[in-house]
Structure 1
Amino acid sequence: MTASRFPFSRRRTLGVSAAAVLAAATVATLPALADNSAEGGSGGPIEIMLPEPTGRHDIGRVDLHLVDEDRADPWDDEGRPREIMASVWYPAGHAPGAPRAPYLSAGVADYLDHDRATAAVGIDPGEVDFAGALSNARTGAPVARGLDGAPVVLYSPGGGMSRAMGTTLVEELASNGYVVVTVDHTYQAPVQLPDRFEPPARNPDFTQVVQERVGDIRFVLDRLEDAAEDRVSDAAGRSLPRGLGAAMDLSRTGMFGHSAGGFATAEAMLADPRIGAGINMDGDMSPDYALETDERGTDRPFMLMSAGHNGDGDPHDIDHGLGWRGFMDRSIGWKRAPHLTEGEHIGYTDFQSVLPAIGRSLDLDEQAVAGAIGTVDPEHSLAAQRAYTSAFFDLHLRGRQTDLFDGPSPGHPGWEFPS
């Protein structure tokens, strides 16, 4: 499939042939996130900061290089085993001397800075400091004192997108007591491995893309079980921070993902009963790919979060997303399908905050920005996404009751709850 280079296409086609171009277009547009201020005009690149999470915990992060010796990578020309980069975000003790973890690896930052899609929205190489952007997590921070029984949540990014693109929601969960594991799907995104940088593969078969994602997630879950028993989980011999393995409660595991990662979330739940609750953020689940979701639903809690409109002008909600209505009707567990009417597909990533911030310093293409994140108020959208995601996992992994899903909330305008 040949996909348009127009950034932020409204099409929800999830083949990585489309999604990788979307990544080249969307991710490359601006992956660093803002705290409502982007500073430019001084002659240097624009500096962007991620919005701070709202939970009571500080955050630590450790990056892991995982190698599945039992699985050959279908896209590796040298026949190497499947390699995965993952980050573990966790509630941390106060560690002001520990360095803040970079938002992007050097290779991914350079990839984004020079991708031609940045020019399509009015950004030239060097105008945004991708390499200098920092997360709110700290490297080497100790595990929060007294942390015990922490639920675990996995995150799978959109097709062609780095695992960093969900940092805003990931940090929010970690600051509220979750251990969150973000997963890069090599050859489906720009990925910095310890010994090399791998760009996305060109036009991979999408059925295989989702199947490999499910394999990645199941392998990561296996390694987390090893880590919980203090066995080494990293190819370089690194373990999780002291006490984190014992603090994780893998009997309370959830997953969420954006776009192709949302599709993969549903497929992973059908393949692995260890995942007890899942969220699909605007990821079409087309029956054309003959995957499990075409025939089955889930018996565990599932939320479909949609946004905006499809290419035909219809609302991209449960009745108009590919495969959504059938899957949700077949699902017999708790389920909801909130729809953000004025949002758009890429608004379920860090771009929801970054694009408006960058636009205050650079003359961006307004049509491209609206096609990416819609016309919704960015602060309202981010607050609602944080609230719905946290409340969903709190309800189903912690048993904390809420009325947030009973219908539209005055505190979160612009959301509908189709039946």
Structure 2
Amino acid sequence: MIRFRRSAIGLLLALALPLPLAAGDSAFAAPSPRAAHGSPVVPAASLAIPAASLAVSAPSPTLAAETRGGPAAHSAPLELPRPTGPYAVGRDTLHLTDAQRRDPWVPSAGARELMATMYYPARPGTGGAPTSYMTTEEAQLLLKGSELADVLPAEQLAGTRTHARTGARAVGGHHPLVVLSPGFALHRATLSLLSEELASRGYVVALLDHAYESLGTAFPGGRTLTCVACDTVKDAPKDDQLALMAKVATGRAADISFVIDTLTAAPHGPHGPARRYSSMIDPKRTGVAGHSIGGNSAATAMAADRRIRAGINMDGGFSAPVPPSGLNGRPFLMLGNLSGHAPDGKEGSWLPNWRRLDGWKRWLTVRDAGHFTFIDLPVLGAQLGIPDPTAPIPGKRAGEITRTYAGAFFDQQLRGIPQPVLDGPSAANPEVVFHTP
């Protein structure tokens, strides 16, 4: 039997790098291993980040001191669920540089850099082999940052089977664009399930990694950038941490606008490989979504960029608040866990920001969910036989709910297709609670 040393977190939550919140400032102490390239890797579990920046899901240190798993679970291949849409999925990777901005965390690095995994609706039977989930080095850094390098092989995580194919032929026509931003310290791959789902439904998806904001992201030239932003937040006085997380959100909002600029530029524009997407995208149908601070960034991007027609915040607090003037009547979905994000929940930023939303809006929470319910990690954890001890909802079901409601929202708001599932509670989704405070 394999013995997991990380008390109360188990494999799933440790992979997800839980952050201590207002529900309890204690955190699991962990060493700070150093990456082969870049800055020290700081486990997010050691950060003291205010509740407004993230949803409340810190595990209780009184839970069982160890989690057990068998060799079969340890060695089983991991696979994302198959997308439900009518299209195959193509995938490419772009390295983008915004020459107009310096990196906010490492100014000496020069211009702001991003990695974007592009997903798009494709013709079946075209393209190469299914794409990898992440690089082995990225997986190593993620596992080291959560003290799990001796528990789950990096090759197993990196080799998670996907359904997207590099170089697949795009389906003709102009498609809506959705930009996705991951949680703080998390790799963009943690939103792969939603990305593949949206692409299979006919969306072009730009899934972003923001430089120096994840535990490890591979960039061209053999570089692997680590989480300098994590260091900055961790080392700041507690009173300054909320402002720093707001800085993350506003910086990501600028990244999102730059990505929209780049992907919708004329085909003869200056952005090299990104130019092909201008012929795929309908720039008048652009949405944005994110998990945790990425969800706050979605709202912040909408406030700054009127080209964005709709947005989703998945379980993120509002470190950077919605402006008092609202979002110019544009639709916004808040989707979170019930204990943290109900109107009387532990995380208090949703209610005042809900009141500022001035267009179509929904406030949904999910029973038995946790902070990481809305990303890939519960799905992969379930395949290993390791549930999230703070979120009883089954991993497979968590993935279904996220795909159902995010997909329905964008279908209604960007395609104009009415979605009854957004009108109120349904027997098919009894876990989902509608709030109208």
TM-score tier by shorter-chain length is 0.7 to 0.9
Following superposition, the deviation at residue 340 of structure 1 comes to 0.2
Q: For this pair of structures, how many residues does the alignment match?
A: 369
Following superposition, the deviation at residue 245 of structure 1 comes to 2.3
2:314 matches 1:285: no
2:184 to 159, 162, 167: 159
Q: 1:173 to 1:45 in 2, by over 3 A?
A: same
Q: What percentage of aligned pairs have identical amino acids?
A: 34
After TM superposition, the structure 1 = structure 2 runs for residues 43-82 of structure 1, keeping only pairs within 5 Å, are 45-76=75-106, 78-82=108-112
In the alignment, what sits opposite 1:28?
Answer: none
In the alignment, what sits opposite 1:30?
Answer: none
TM superposition score normalised by structure 1: 0.81
After TM superposition, the structure 1 = structure 2 runs for residues 165-244 of structure 1, keeping only pairs within 5 Å, are 165-189=190-214, 190-195=216-221, 196-201=223-228, 202-204=231-233, 205-226=244-265, 228-233=266-271, 237-239=272-274, 241=276, 244=277
C-alpha distance in structure 1 between counterparts of 2:314 and 2:143, whole Å: 26
**Most deviating of 39-48 and 341-350:** 39-48
1:139 to 162, 166, 179: 166
Aligned residues: CA RMSD = 2.7
- Letter of the aligned partner of 2:428 in structure 1? G
- Letter of the aligned partner of 1:206 in structure 2? M
C-alpha distance in structure 1 between counterparts of 2:74 and 2:175, whole Å: 42
Contact kept in structure 1, 2:78 and 2:160, CA below 8 Å: yes
2:330 matches 1:300: yes
In the alignment, what sits opposite 2:51?
Answer: none
TM superposition score normalised by structure 2: 0.78
Q: 1:66 to 1:9 in 2, by over 3 A?
A: closer
1:393 to 402, 410, 416: 410
2:296 matches 1:263: yes
- Letter of the aligned partner of 1:84 in structure 2? L
* SS of aligned partner of 1:48: coil
In the alignment, what sits opposite 2:350?
Answer: 324
In the alignment, what sits opposite 1:275?
Answer: 308
2:105 matches 1:86: no
* SS of aligned partner of 1:60: strand
In the alignment, what sits opposite 2:374?
Answer: 348
Q: 1:73 to 1:103 in 2, by over 3 A?
A: same
C-alpha distance in structure 2 between counterparts of 1:180 and 1:84, whole Å: 15
C-alpha distance in structure 1 between counterparts of 2:366 and 2:429, whole Å: 10
C-alpha distance in structure 2 between counterparts of 1:397 and 1:43, whole Å: 40
Q: 1:335 to 1:44 in 2, by over 3 A?
A: closer
In the alignment, what sits opposite 2:59?
Answer: none
Unmatched 5+ residue regions in structure 2?
1-6, 28-41, 48-68, 234-243
In the alignment, what sits opposite 1:104?
Answer: 134
C-alpha distance in structure 1 between counterparts of 2:137 and 2:435, whole Å: 42
Following superposition, the deviation at residue 294 of structure 1 comes to 5.8
Q: 1:132 to 1:111 in 2, by over 3 A?
A: same
Following superposition, the deviation at residue 127 of structure 1 comes to 7.3
In the alignment, what sits opposite 2:238?
Answer: none
Following superposition, the deviation at residue 200 of structure 1 comes to 0.7
C-alpha distance in structure 2 between counterparts of 1:255 and 1:346, whole Å: 19
Per-residue deviation, residues 187-212 of structure 1 (Å, max 9, x unmatched)? 11121111200111113422321121
C-alpha distance in structure 1 between counterparts of 2:395 and 2:80, whole Å: 14
Following superposition, the deviation at residue 417 of structure 1 comes to 0.3
* SS of aligned partner of 2:435: coil
Unmatched 5+ residue regions in structure 1?
26-38, 311-315
- Letter of the aligned partner of 2:357 in structure 1? S
